């Protein structure tokens, strides 16, 4: 049953993979199936975790490069299409929310935050995951790079998602990678970065407003950002 939120107090936009859900098992499984079909060694979970974050075409290109396969447009397009078919058949088979995600989202919704998802995963796959894991009740919008025809780190992906989420100011972005931090900074909104995700670069020094180690720390990080903005007379 959907909760009735309190009066709106702002907007939180979340990345999906590595932030709300651990999707590596399904992505790695799909990559390994693709590699097997091509007679190549499996990619495996840990390597897949390192490659995630820039959308399916880049994921497939990077995985093939790991196996010494040179990219060409015709072969690459076919590989991306095949991966999309494989992954679409198992998109939420093993993907699960991280610990603390559901209770924290329930708390934020009850407090009056409007929330959305801004991910470089194609919208249809992101929606499948969100709906299959019963997270759709929390979000006004789930936006992939195909939703507004632009993907992260372009700030328009984030700002358009926030606009449709409809929560107004303040806007805060929550992610797990260098791409997320760059997107938030380009959009001029505070960024909270989770350290447990799929980043390819150490997050220290990348300019996130807060680094947190677990989703349960998110409410305190949000409160700190809002308090700091208020004490400085800043309108986010």
207: how many CB neighbours lie within 10 A of its CB?
Answer: 12
- The pair phi, psi for residue 152, each rounded to 5°, is -60, 145
Give yes or no for residue 228 having a pLDDT over 90.
no
- Find out whether 84 and 56 touch, Cβ atoms under 8 Å: yes
Q: Give the whole-angstrom CA distance, residue 149 versus residue 184.
A: 18
Q: How far apart are CA 215 and CA 135, in angstroms?
A: 15
pLDDT confidence band for 227 (50 / 70 / 90): confident
pLDDT of residue 125: 94
Cα angle value 47/68/203 (rounded, 5°)? 35
Asked whether the predicted pLDDT for residue 234 surpasses 70, the reply is: no
- CA angle, 81 then 82 then 85, to 5°: 90
Q: Return the CA Rg of the chain.
A: 18
Higher pLDDT, 227 or 54: 227
What are 185-219's pLDDT values in tens digits?
999 999 999 999 988 788 998 999 999 999 999 99
The pLDDT of residue 232 is 44
Per-residue confidence (pLDDT) for residue 235, from 0 to 100: 45
Q: How far apart are CA 225 and CA 111, in angstroms?
A: 16
pLDDT digits (tens, 9 = 90+) for 129-180: 999 999 999 999 999 999 999 999 999 999 999 999 999 999 999 999 999 9
Mention every residue, 6+ apart, whose C-beta is less than 8 A from residue 208.
Answer: 181, 184, 191, 192, 193
**pLDDT tens, position by position, 69-114:** 999 999 999 999 999 999 999 999 999 999 999 999 999 999 999 9
pTM of the model as a whole: 0.89
Residue 150 burial (C-beta neighbours within 10 Å; 0-12, 13-18, 19+): middle
What is the rounded distance in angstroms from the CA atom of residue 193 to the CA atom of residue 112?
Answer: 22
Beta bridge partners of 173: 13, 191
pLDDT number for residue 200: 79
Q: What gap in Å lies between CA 43 and CA 66, rounded to an integer?
A: 8
- CA-wise closest residue to 104 among 184, 167, 12: 12
Residue 15: active-site member: yes
Q: What CA–CA distance (Å, rounded) separates 83 from 179?
A: 23
- Per the residue annotation, which of 15, 17, 22, 209 is the catalytic one? 15
């Amino acid at each position: 049953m959907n909760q009735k939120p309190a009066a709106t107090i702002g907007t939180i936009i979340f990345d999906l993979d590595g932030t709300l859900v651990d999707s590596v098992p399904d992505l790695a499984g799909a990559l390994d199936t693709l590699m097997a079909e091509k007679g190549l060694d499996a990619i495996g979970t840990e390597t897949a975790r390192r490659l995630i974050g820039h959308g399916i075409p880049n994921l497939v290109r990077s995985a093939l490069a790991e196996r010494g396969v040179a990219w060409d447009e015709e072969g690459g397009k076919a590989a991306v299409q095949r991966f999309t078919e494989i992954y679409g058949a198992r998109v939420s088979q093993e993907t699960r929310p991280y610990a603390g995600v559901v209770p924290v989202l329930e708390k934020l919704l009850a407090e009056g935050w409007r929330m959305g998802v801004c991910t470089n995963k194609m919208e249809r796959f992101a929606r499948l995951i969100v709906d299959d894991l019963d997270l759709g009740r929390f979000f006004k919008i789930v936006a992939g790079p195909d939703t507004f025809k632009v993907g992260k780190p372009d700030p328009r992906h984030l700002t358009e998602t926030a606009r449709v989420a409809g929560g107004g100011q303040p806007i805060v972005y929550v992610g797990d990678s260098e791409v997320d931090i760059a997107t938030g900074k380009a959009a001029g909104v505070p960024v909270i970065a989770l350290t447990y995700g799929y980043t390819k670069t150490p997050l220290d020094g990348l300019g996130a407003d807060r680094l947190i180690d677990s989703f349960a720390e998110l409410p305190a990080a949000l409160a700190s950002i809002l308090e700091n903005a208020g004490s400085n007379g800043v309108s986010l």
